[in-house]
Structure 1
Amino acid sequence: MNSANANARTIFGTPKLPARHATVVLPMLLSILMTCIVSAISTLMSDGIDIGLWLRSWAVSWPIAFPTLLLVLPLVRRATAALVRAPEQA
């Protein structure tokens, strides 16, 4: 194992997680960003700038989006593989 990689740190100074955690970290970050943006736009369109209402709607939508992504991501990967050519090996 590469010692430089073992000592890698995040931008927050904490040690990076092992690669096996990527299957949970990716949908977690994706769901956080997605629900944050969608709930902000929805709140802005319906009620104007209301931070409290936006935070409430985000707090409701994220716990639904994260497990949903965990369940559907494997299906989406398979559907993508069925629609997109595999990259050619050099």
Structure 2
Amino acid sequence: MQKLPRSFTPYVFSFYMATIMALLMCGTIVAVQAGFGPGYWASVFKTYVLAMPVAFCCVLLVRPLVLRMVALTVAH
């Protein structure tokens, strides 16, 4: 399997982080608001379609800030 160049690391990280977090958050929010009834997964998917691109952009934007905050609080 061919891998992406190292320069893509921030984008790949952001994509994976956004994918996982958006799915977890959509699943949680739908469960809290509507419960685990019929149509649960359809509702999760419907919200995920909106949330994932938003999460991806947000992770890209805040990543540099978070890296700086970590550097300020964790000893090297």
> Structure 2-normalised TM-score?
0.89
Instruction: Point out where structure 2 has 5 or more consecutive residues left out of the alignment.
Output: none
CA distance in 1, matches of 2:50, 2:5: 30
Alignment of structure 1 residues 4-83 onto 2, 5 Å? 9=1, 15-49=2-36, 50-83=40-73
The root-mean-square deviation of aligned C-alpha atoms, in Å, is 0.9
CA distance in 2, matches of 1:83, 1:69: 20
Runs of 4+ in 1 over 2 A off after TM superposition: none
Paired residue for 1:12? none
> Considering only CA atoms, is the larger Rg found in Structure 1 or Structure 2?
1
> Structure 1-normalised TM-score?
0.76
Greater RCO, CA 8 A, separation 6+ = 2
SS of equivalent residue, structure 1 residue 16: coil
Give 1 or 2: higher helix fraction: 2
